[in-house]
Amino acid sequence: MPSIKDVADLAGVGVGTVSRVINKNPTVKPETREKVNAAIKKLNYIPNEVARNFKMQKSTMVALLLPSIWHPFFSEFAYYIEDALDKEGYKLMLCNSGGRPDKEIYYLDMLNQNKVAGIIGITYNEIEDSVSTDIPIISLDRHFGKKITCVTSDNYTGGQMAVKELVKAGVTKVAYLGITSSVYSEVLLRKKGFMDEAEAQGIEFVTYEEHDAVYDDDTFFDDFFSKKEHQDVNGIFANTDLLAAKYIDKAKQKGIITPKDVKVIGYDGIQDNKLFRPFLSTIRQPVEEMARMSVELLLRKIEGETLDQDIYRVPVMYRKGETT
Amino acid sequence: MPSIKDVADLAGVGVGTVSRVINKNPTVKPETREKVNAAIKKLNYIPNEVARNFKMQKSTMVALLLPSIWHPFFSEFAYYIEDALDKEGYKLMLCNSGGRPDKEIYYLDMLNQNKVAGIIGITYNEIEDSVSTDIPIISLDRHFGKKITCVTSDNYTGGQMAVKELVKAGVTKVAYLGITSSVYSEVLLRKKGFMDEAEAQGIEFVTYEEHDAVYDDDTFFDDFFSKKEHQDVNGIFANTDLLAAKYIDKAKQKGIITPKDVKVIGYDGIQDNKLFRPFLSTIRQPVEEMARMSVELLLRKIEGETLDQDIYRVPVMYRKGETT
DNA sequence: CATCATAATTGAAACGTTTCAATTGTTTTT
DNA sequence: AAAAACAATTGAAACGTTTCAATTATGATG
């Protein structure tokens, strides 16, 4: 594998000159540039990016740390993240934490050692302490503190919207169905928006949640359907589209048909849910916008800029499907 | 940021010793080890992985190059790839090519410069020439040549299975619906298996395909439904689950109900298609197994081993849903 | 106690870049 | 023609590791 030295020798110039040619530094005579380029071509030389990163003491690798790329919301998010990063000349490293604290810490350590340029994290745990101060971080949906900038959708308004739409659809008692993950989660605001709006509208409501860690489809829903106070619920706001889809499925098994017997609204608006049947009504987060904003903010942090806000919220919108 | 030199100085030993402690080399006196570890802790030293990779002239980064992580099949595949890699101490870099030849080449160049340890590629184009000889590659579903090992499902048998199951379900005329991507694709065997089996069973059949590049949902299906020879088709074998789901959807709009009027079988078996409605009958590829095999073979190549086969095929199975 | 064998440790060299002070070459000015 | 200004080029040093030949410390043996 030829090195810059080999190129320099063949071209009959110094290594510095070759370096300048490669980096398109203008202070090199066109004639010399030609010689060097010829040598590069002849030797089939390609610059060693690892050596460069090492010498420069910085990389263009950004890590995306999330529970599971398998989840459709995350995979869409990851898609846009990669696209945005690539446009700016950055690369993406993917880390699935499974939402487990130990794995999140493990990955953060690893990313530290590997001197990634920055991290975009969707984590379930308090990570502020586990992360070196000099590595910029953007966190999706969790707000930890000043050090870690948070990008999230307007969860509170989303929760309100859901209630408004359910009421508009004529329901008389609404339930919030949630998988909670972390106390730091901005997702909690979905519930708050839901409750406040239900209160404001003067409509009966219940909330039903389970912690992520102990979550299991069957027990969750069996439990839900068994409770007396859930019998007359005819409006559901589910935490996520996936949860909404599962609810509709389980409800159907109990003979409760959507949208005849119950109206359902999800949250997320994952693109492909056109293929879920019935087509879900949902509060859509602008995934692409959130991804691009995350990248933009992260790169600004990497450049050394200090951001003016701790939390950036992007607006959500209601998308009517067949379940309301 | 403290370096190994700082640790050595503080502990009063040479850098070599510190290095040996870090790398758990046994030839270091326990007592010395203690001193070094104390110094490491005190300085909060973390080894610089970039420098190490540079010096060692190798990395533990493996790239996954695919059309789009957004696609549920790929995101499931990526999930298992990451999991398998992590278990072996490797990291995953994600590259979305969009299936575009230029972007595939662009990424391969980049990966070359970045000296990744290996590549797992799901590419649409002839890439054998674009890839340096000394970087091990595994290709999913495309067979290019000896240099690039191919992992794929048993597409031919899968195609046969589909016909058998459709016939078993009582259909009288079957259609193969396909999005073709590349002439190198092993996916073509799905069609061949389909045709051969239809022939063998003596059942009427048609095939209908569109090239990936010019593919568009609406024109594709409008075209399909408009053709005279498609009117009496009552069995569909779609190339992928996603395509099957779209077919069912479009057919419904035409008043053709699945599975009453037409039986449908997809290909892939993406896990979450439990949420597609109706629940799809499909030829399931063992995604996890394919992912783990890809990683295992790649790592063996990275270790310098020569693999005994060019193509590794893993068996598929039929999973009955509600569409047959 | 001297000698030898072995265990433990040292630190310079090397990996492939970039950078920058120093040098050389070229042009302009006086 | 000499001096000054500017343009282009050079190559050693540095980045943080690992490695390994050389050195030193320790223990065993006669």
pLDDT digits (tens, 9 = 90+) for A60-86: 999 999 999 998 899 999 999 999 999
Q: Which nucleotide is nearest to A54 (CA to C1')?
A: D15
**pLDDT-based confidence at A121, cuts 50/70/90?**
very high
pLDDT in the model for residue B285: 95
Question: Given a cut of 70, is residue B194 above it in pLDDT?
Answer: yes
Is A48 in contact with B93 (Cβ distance < 8 A)? no
User: How confident is the model over B279-283, as a mean pLDDT?
Assistant: 92
Question: Given a cut of 60, is residue B274 above it in pLDDT?
Answer: no
Nearest to A115 among B50, B94, B277 (CB): B50
What is d(CA A244, CA A276) in angstroms, rounded to the nearest whole number?
10
The DSSP element (H or E) to which B268 belongs, if any, is strand B263-268
Nearest to A69 among B69, B112, B115 (CB): B69
Name the token pair of A138. 């953007």
Which one of A79, A270, A279 would you mutate to disrupt binding with B, by most B Cβ within 10 Å of its Cβ? Answer: A79
pLDDT in the model for residue A272: 61
Which one of A43, A243, A277 would you mutate to disrupt binding with B, by most B Cβ within 10 Å of its Cβ? Answer: A277
* pLDDT above 70: percentage of residues in chain B: 97
CA distances from B159 to A195, B71, B191 (A): 52, 22, 6
- Taking a C-beta distance cutoff of 8 angstroms, is the pair A267, A323 a contact? no
- Taking a C-beta distance cutoff of 8 angstroms, is the pair B206, B194 a contact? no
Nearest-by-CA chain A residue for B63: A93
User: How confident is the model over A49-57, as a mean pLDDT?
Assistant: 96
Average pLDDT of chain A to the nearest whole number: 92
Q: Which nucleotide is nearest to A16 (CA to C1')?
A: D10
Question: Given a cut of 80, is residue A1 above it in pLDDT?
Answer: yes
pLDDT in the model for residue A271: 67
Can you say how many angstroms the Cα of residue B141 is from the centroid of all Cα atoms in its chain?
8
Nearest-by-CA chain B residue for A247: B275
pLDDT in the model for residue B128: 72
pLDDT in the model for residue B272: 61
Higher-confidence residue of B65 and B129: namely B65
Which segments of B40-121 are extended strands (E)?
Answer: 61-66, 91-96, 118-121
Residue with tokens 């326990």: B30
A37-51, A117-131, B37-51: least confidently modelled range: A117-131
Name every chain A residue with its beta carbon within 8 A of the beta carbon of B246.
275
What is d(CA B260, CA B137) in angstroms, rounded to the nearest whole number?
45
Q: Which nucleotide is nearest to B45 (CA to C1')?
A: D16
Question: Given a cut of 90, is residue A180 above it in pLDDT?
Answer: no
pLDDT in the model for residue B216: 83
Nearest-by-CA chain A residue for B67: A79
Dihedral (CA of A127, A100, B86, B125) sign = negative
Q: Which nucleotide is nearest to A20 (CA to C1')?
A: C18
User: How confident is the model over A192-206, as a mean pLDDT?
Assistant: 97
**pLDDT-based confidence at B275, cuts 50/70/90?**
low
Alpha helices in chain A (DSSP H): 4-11, 15-22, 30-43, 49-56, 72-87, 101-113, 155-168, 188-201, 217-226, 241-253, 287-302
pLDDT in the model for residue B212: 74
- Taking a C-beta distance cutoff of 8 angstroms, is the pair A291, A297 a contact? no
pLDDT in the model for residue B124: 81
Name every chain A residue with its beta carbon within 8 A of the beta carbon of B75.
69-72, 74-75, 78
What is d(CA B142, CA B61) in angstroms, rounded to the nearest whole number?
23
What is d(CA B112, CA B92) in angstroms, rounded to the nearest whole number?
15
Q: Which tens digits make up the pLDDT trace of A260-315? A: 999 999 999 886 655 666 789 999 999 999 999 999 999 999 999 999 999 999 99
Residue among A292, A239, A287 nearest A264 (CA): A239
Dihedral (CA of B112, B114, B120, B123) sign = negative
Is A70 in contact with B53 (Cβ distance < 8 A)? no
> Rounded to 10 degrees, what is the CA torsion of B248, B252, B258, B263?
-60
Is B93 in contact with A91 (Cβ distance < 8 A)? yes
Peptide bond into A278 cis (omega under 30): yes
What is d(CA A164, CA B60) in angstroms, rounded to the nearest whole number?
52
Distance from CA of A97 to the nearest CA of B (A): 9
pLDDT in the model for residue B188: 92
pLDDT in the model for residue A320: 93
Is A114 in contact with B276 (Cβ distance < 8 A)? no
Q: Which tens digits make up the pLDDT trace of B144-193? A: 888 899 999 999 999 999 999 999 999 999 999 998 877 778 999 999 99
Average pLDDT of chain B to the nearest whole number: 92
User: How confident is the model over A176-182, as a mean pLDDT?
Assistant: 87
User: How confident is the model over A141-161, as a mean pLDDT?
Assistant: 94
pLDDT in the model for residue B213: 66
Is A79 in contact with B72 (Cβ distance < 8 A)? no
Q: Which tens digits make up the pLDDT trace of B197-225? A: 999 999 999 999 988 766 788 899 999 99
What is d(CA A234, CA A260) in angstroms, rounded to the nearest whole number?
9
Q: Which residue is nearest to nucleotide C18 (CA to C1')?
A: A55
Q: Which nucleotide is nearest to B20 (CA to C1')?
A: D18
Distance from CA of A218 to the nearest CA of B (A): 15
Amino acid at A220: F
pLDDT in the model for residue A134: 81
CA distances from A190 to A58, A153, A266 (A): 39, 10, 11
Nearest to B50 among A1, A53, A68 (CB): A53
Instruction: Give B69: exposed, middle or buried? Use CB within 10 Å, 0-12, 13-18, 19+.
Output: buried
Nearest to A75 among B47, B70, B274 (CB): B70
**pLDDT-based confidence at A145, cuts 50/70/90?**
confident
Q: Which tens digits make up the pLDDT trace of A94-104? A: 999 998 889 99
Exposure string for B233-267, b = 16+ CB within 10 A, e = fewer: bbbbbbbbbbbbbbbbbbbeeeebebbeebbbbbb
Nearest-by-CA chain A residue for B250: A275
Q: Which tens digits make up the pLDDT trace of A233-268? A: 999 999 999 899 889 989 999 999 989 999 999 999
Instruction: Give A73: exposed, middle or buried? Use CB within 10 Å, 0-12, 13-18, 19+.
Output: buried
pLDDT in the model for residue A14: 95
Neighbours of B50 (CB within 10 A): 23
Is A82 in contact with B70 (Cβ distance < 8 A)? no
pLDDT in the model for residue A185: 86
Name the token pair of A80. 């846009």
Beta-carbon contacts below 8 Å between A and B: 127
User: How confident is the model over B96-112, as a mean pLDDT?
Assistant: 93
Give me the long-range contacts of B223-231 (CB less than 8 A, separation at least 24). Answer: B224/B177, B225/B250, B225/B251, B225/B254, B230/B175, B230/B206
pLDDT in the model for residue B157: 98
pLDDT in the model for residue B270: 80
